[in-house]
Structure 1
Amino acid sequence: MPEKLDVLSGSCVQIPCAFDVPQDCSTFNSTVITSGVWIKESPYFGGRLNIVIFNSSKTYNTYQGKITGNMSWKNCTTVFFNVTSSYTNSYFFRIESRPFSATDPEKSVLIVVRDLPLRPMITVSGEMKEERPVSLNCSAAAPCPKHSPKLTWTLTPENQLQENSDQTKSVLSTVTFTASHLHHEKNITCTAVYPVGTSNKTAEHTMTLNVLFSPKNTSASLSPADPVSVGSCVNLTCSSTANPPVTNFTWFQICGGKPTQVASGQTYTINVTVGDGGMYYCEARNDHGIEKSMKVLLAIEVGMVYTNQAMTGEEPEEPAEDQPEEIHYGEIDFSKLQPKETPAVALDREQGQESEYAEVSVTGRGAQEPPVKTTSGSVSVPRDG
């Protein structure tokens, strides 16, 4: 017999039972009608006939029941009907087959009657990994097989009645689906509905799914995100969702069109130099895979380049506030200039060509123009500079 049975009040209970008789008990004859007797609380009933609650040879018994097993085949399986809370106790089985009779005092079954059913049990077949089929099994005790519970899921199930190792019955429901990271930490519930008389009693079990998956939603971010100046500090942060959590973050910089590993760790801090500008991305890795983030741009501000006084360390001369800058004009007659003879002029003179050349350097405020070669004529330029 099973050691314990949990029974629902108002329902029935089936007690799986089988016996054997030692070979030296020659008085037992399987061809003779054998009665089965159930004794409550103690195997020794002596003068306490009130603890004998069922005898298959009698028409009236304290407990309404029936031996459904074939005693000639040593099967003593018994069903008790209309179980009440007073049935909670230990029970022993006795065989009576004239002239043989015996009770095993070391073997009993404990019946526990409950007003509410025990919650069903959910188990997982194998490891739950993304993109792999996974089966969840829901099992609920069926102490009264004729009124076994109906199991329902939040997903579509498959139900079947099964026999346990101790010969008790249970209803097994299986739901199969392909695991995804979207299922992770979602709740799934199995509900057992027991018919009891004209009403139902329910129990349920909720499980939080634990799906193993590679890094997802990996992203890289900069702080500050705006262009920065040389010498400032920038933090690059990599974020990702994974189960188990990410074990390794790696940072890469795009150099010459190719990625170069520059750091590891979820956060990468840079004291900015001119060569640090450019594109960066991170990789997140765990035991189930790897994922790259999108690229982010580290932009460096371009400083102003000053010439003339600024290059010599002097402050550039600023015009007076609200005063327009004066510009003076002059006139040059290139026909009266006597420039220094250049090799080109000498060559033209030898060849008899009549061309005149002059070199004039024109410089504006804050900028320098290249020398200009021109023919005779006149031009107006600023007197100042």
Structure 2
Amino acid sequence: MKALCWHGTNDIRCDTVDDPKIEDSRDVIIKVTSCAICGSDLHLMDGLMPTMESGDVLGHEFMGEVVETGSADHKFKKGDRIVVPFNINCGECRMCKLGLYSCCQRSNRNAPIAAAQFGFTIAGLFGYSHMLGGYAGGQAEYVRVPMADFAPIKVPEGMSDDDVLFLTDIFPTGYQGAEQCDIKGGESIAVWGCGPVGYFAIQSARILGAERIIAIETVPERIALARKAGATHIIDFEKEDVFERIVEITHGEGADAVIDCVGMEASAGHGQGGLMATIKEKVAPAERGFVLDQAIKAVRPGGVVSIPGVYGGPLMINMGQIVQKSLTLRSGQTHVKRYLEPLTELIRAGKVDMTSLISHRSHDLTEGPDLYKTFKEKSDGCTKVVFNL
């Protein structure tokens, strides 16, 4: 079968690889009908995640049709269309029973490697390094889905791939980022980064009742998406001082909560802060904390800092501001299963725009390497790439 594979930094290829096989009674094999390139895939492309191996199949945003099951009495049957969360959940461990699905204790088959990095293991992930299980991803014609009887869901009748594809990651991720802000109604929420996750974080903050939604971005296409999603104010971080503008917009109060949708590959911005971030990047380029620094500074005393953006290692942050302002930090990989049913209902009710962010489509995985480059460089107006196979 064809699959998009990692062969080193900035080296993504469309290879011919072995078809997946059933390995356990809980498995299913799906024929992928839609998949997408995620912003966090670019961390792999940029060589920022350890334990990748040449030939690893990429992709964690995918869905498809069941073509084989591990047992005759499996939850899913041949022909079922299913949505597959990006993290793999056993459904039996303490973390899964607590609803902390991204911290599953049993799905990472390389748990000791993850525990050495993070203290404890986290869930196995599709297409995302051997530290997280080394599972083949979904930018492929077929995928083995382990433990498929727990987390994936059957696509409701009448819903298209476009309706539900982003339930695999970016919609739940944006929603969790907004939910972590404890929005009760009437708040000012600032969102750094208006790519796909920011796009859904803005929509989610609006649905939850935020009054002001301040989007921090500089790419014109993403600014347009932020406005469409419901942002009430835009700050172009290359032209304006973000802190000063947030203080102005909130009449001196600061944002009630802030959402970092950027993570480890933040870009330096305007003024002295941008200069200092550039210096830090030259000294320790693996993790860039400029966005998180801005967010912590701009949130009001007693506010919430929500971090759906991906970080993989140590990072210097201003603990003085966190402690002295009585801030709450909330973060984590997305507990996707927790949100699948309620977010499906929001989609069915027409409360969420699921397709406007898709700028590029392909029906051919051989175009994948070029589309990775286009997405990374944000060229040709690229905001999101989807493959319909």
TM-score by length of 1: 0.19
Largest Rg, 1 or 2: 1
More helix by proportion, 1 or 2? Answer: 2
More strand by proportion, 1 or 2? Answer: 1
TM-score by length of 2: 0.19
